[in-house]
C-alpha cells in the first residue's frame, strides 16, 4: 500500500492576523488580541510576529506582555469574524479533498492521498493552498506535509509564517528526533516533566526508550507517544461528512469578581449545567461522570472527577454531583477566579441502561423525568420560557 499524504494547515497568528485586516495602519506595530481586562479575562489570546519577537506569549497576563513590550497595541477579539475566516479557509481546503479534520478554529488535517493525480504531490498541493489562502483571505498559513498526522502537525510548526515543511519517511529521523519531546502531539507539560526526570528530553530519546519504561512512567499514553516518535501513527483523517460526536462536554466561567462563597459556585454550576445538558441532548448522549475545574487567584488549577452510578443528561443531577465533588475537595480558603463543570465518560443515550431494581436511584429517575419535561417546554417555547429559580436575577 502506498504511503498516505497528510497535510496539517495552521493559519498563522490567526486571531491577530484576522483582526489586523480591519486595522491596516497597525501592521508595522506589535499587536496582540486579548480578553477584556475589566472583565478579568486579561490574557493574551494571540499576537503578531512583531509582538512575538519581543517575547510576548499566548496565555500570559497583559501586564506581563506590556512589561516586555511597552508599545504593545491591544485589540479586542472578534469571534464572529474569526469563524467567518475559518470557514473560508475550510472552503479552500475542500477544493483539494473531502477528508478534512478540524483541530481547533485555525488548524485542519487534510488527507490528500487520492488528490495527487489532479493536483500534484503533497508539497505541490501545500504550496497551492498556501498561495490561495494568502491571495483570497489576506492571511498566511503554514503547512506540514507528511505520511501521518503527528508528523504533519510537527511540520506546520517548524517553519512560520507562510511556509511548507515536508517530513518524509526518509528524513524524519534527522528532522524530528532532535526536537524536544514537548513538540510532539499530545505531549503535555506534566508528561514532559516525568520524561525529563528519566533523562528523556528529545523525540529521539523517546523513540529509543524501552516500552516497559514508558509504560511504567505514562501507561498507555507512553506507548502511544513512542509510536508517534517512530512515525507509526496510523490514525485516519476524518471525512468532512462524518458526524462530530464530542468526547466530553464542559463549560467554565471567569467572573468579574472572584468566587468567595459556595452559593456563588452553586448558582454558576446551575447555569453551566443547563448548557451542558442541552448539548448532551443534542447529540443523544449521557454523562457517565462529572468533572469539576477550579482556578484560584494565583492561577493554580485543580480538577476533580467522579463516575456516576447512573448515566444522565439531567442538569439537576449534574449540579448535584458537581457540588458533591466541590464540597469534598474545595474549602474556599482563598477566592476562586474561575470554576467549571464538565460531563465526562459520555455514553450513547440510545443504549439500554441497567434498571434500578432496588430503588436506590428512584429519586434520580424522578428528577430526570422532571428535567425531561422542562427541556421539552424550553425546546418548544424557547430557552428562556422556563428558568431555575436560583438563576433568575433580581432584575428579571
- What distances in angstroms separate CA 174 from CA 5, 111, 168, 331, 339, one per listed residue? 19, 24, 10, 51, 44
In whole angstroms, what is the distance from residue 59 CA to residue 45 CA?
6
Which alpha helices (H) appear in the chain, and where do they start and end?
14-20, 49-53, 62-68, 79-93, 116-119, 122-137, 149-158, 172-176, 189-197, 203-208, 211-218, 220-229, 262-282, 315-329, 362-381
Count the neighbouring beta carbons within 10 Å of the beta carbon of residue 128.
16
Q: Does residue 101 carry a catalytic annotation?
A: no
Handedness of CA 352, 354, 355, 356 (dihedral sign): negative
Is residue 162 within 8 A of residue 134, CB to CB? The reply is yes
- What distances in angstroms separate CA 164 from CA 9, 131, 152, 208, 351, one per listed residue? 9, 11, 10, 28, 46
**Which residues, at least 6 apart from 68, have a Cβ–Cβ distance to it below 8 Å?**
54, 55, 56
Q: Is 350 helix (H, G, I), strand (E, B) or coil?
A: coil
Is residue 88 within 8 A of residue 129, CB to CB? The reply is no
Is residue 314 within 8 A of residue 371, CB to CB? The reply is yes
User: Considering 60, 64, 107, 362, which one is annotated as catalytic?
Assistant: 107
Give the closest residue to 305 by CA, choosing from 284, 333, 329: 329
Q: Backbone dihedral region of 325: left (phi > 0), alpha (psi from -120 to 50 degrees) or beta?
A: alpha
Q: Which three cell numbers stand for residue 23?
A: 486595522
Active site residues: 107
Amino acid at each position: 500500500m502506498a504511503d498516505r499524504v497528510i497535510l496539517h494547515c495552521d493559519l498563522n497568528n490567526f486571531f491577530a492576523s484576522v483582526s489586523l485586516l480591519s486595522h491596516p495602519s497597525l501592521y508595522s506595530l506589535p499587536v496582540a488580541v486579548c480578553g477584556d481586562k475589566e472583565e478579568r479575562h486579561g490574557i493574551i489570546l494571540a499576537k503578531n510576529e512583531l509582538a512575538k519577537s519581543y517575547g510576548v506569549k499566548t496565555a500570559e497576563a497583559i501586564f506581563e506582555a506590556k512589561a516586555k513590550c511597552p508599545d504593545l497595541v491591544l485589540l479586542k477579539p472578534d469571534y464572529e469574524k474569526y469563524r467567518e475566516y475559518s470557514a473560508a479557509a475550510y472552503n479552500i481546503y475542500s477544493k483539494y479533498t473531502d477528508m478534512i479534520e478540524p483541530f481547533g478554529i485555525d488548524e485542519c488535517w487534510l488527507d490528500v492521498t487520492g488528490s495527487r493525480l489532479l493536483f500534484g504531490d503533497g508539497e505541490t498541493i501545500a504550496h497551492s493552498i498556501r498561495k490561495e489562502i494568502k491571495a483570497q483571505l489576506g492571511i498566511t498559513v503554514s503547512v506540514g506535509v507528511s505520511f501521518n498526522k503527528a508528523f504533519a502537525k510537527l511540520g506546520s510548526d517548524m517553519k512560520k509564517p507562510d511556509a511548507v515543511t515536508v517530513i518524509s519517511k526518509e528524513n524524519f529521523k534527522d528532522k524530528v528526533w532532535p526536537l524536544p519531546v514537548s513538540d510532539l502531539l499530545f505531549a503535555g507539560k506534566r508528561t514532559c516533566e516525568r520524561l525529563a526526570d528519566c533523562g528523556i528530553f528529545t523525540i529521539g530519546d523517546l523513540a529509543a526508550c524501552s516500552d516497559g519504561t514508558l509504560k511504567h512512567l505514562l501507561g498507555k499514553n507512553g506507548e502511544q507517544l513512542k509510536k508517534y516518535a517512530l512515525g507509526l501513527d496510523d490514525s485516519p483523517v476524518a471525512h468532512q461528512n462524518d458526524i462530530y460526536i464530542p468526547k466530553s462536554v464542559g463549560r467554565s466561567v471567569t467572573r468579574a469578581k472572584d468566587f468567595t462563597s459556595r452559593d456563588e459556585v452553586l448558582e454558576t454550576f446551575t447555569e453551566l449545567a443547563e448548557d451542558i445538558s442541552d448539548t448532551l441532548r443534542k447529540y443523544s448522549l449521557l454523562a457517565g461522570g462529572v468533572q469539576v475545574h477550579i482556578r484560584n487567584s494565583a492561577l493554580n488549577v485543580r480538577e476533580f472527577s467522579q463516575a456516576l452510578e447512573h448515566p444522565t443528561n439531567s442538569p439537576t443531577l449534574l449540579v448535584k454531583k458537581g457540588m458533591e465533588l466541590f464540597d469534598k475537595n474545595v474549602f474556599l480558603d482563598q477566592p476562586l477566579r474561575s470554576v467549571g463543570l464538565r460531563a465526562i465518560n459520555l455514553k450513547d443515550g440510545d443504549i439500554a441502561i441497567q434498571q434500578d431494581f432496588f430503588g436506590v436511584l428512584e429519586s434520580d429517575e424522578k428528577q430526570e423525568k422532571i428535567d425531561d419535561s422542562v427541556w421539552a417546554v424550553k425546546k418548544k417555547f424557547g430557552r428562556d420560557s422556563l428558568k431555575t429559580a436560583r438563576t433568575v436575577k433580581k432584575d428579571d
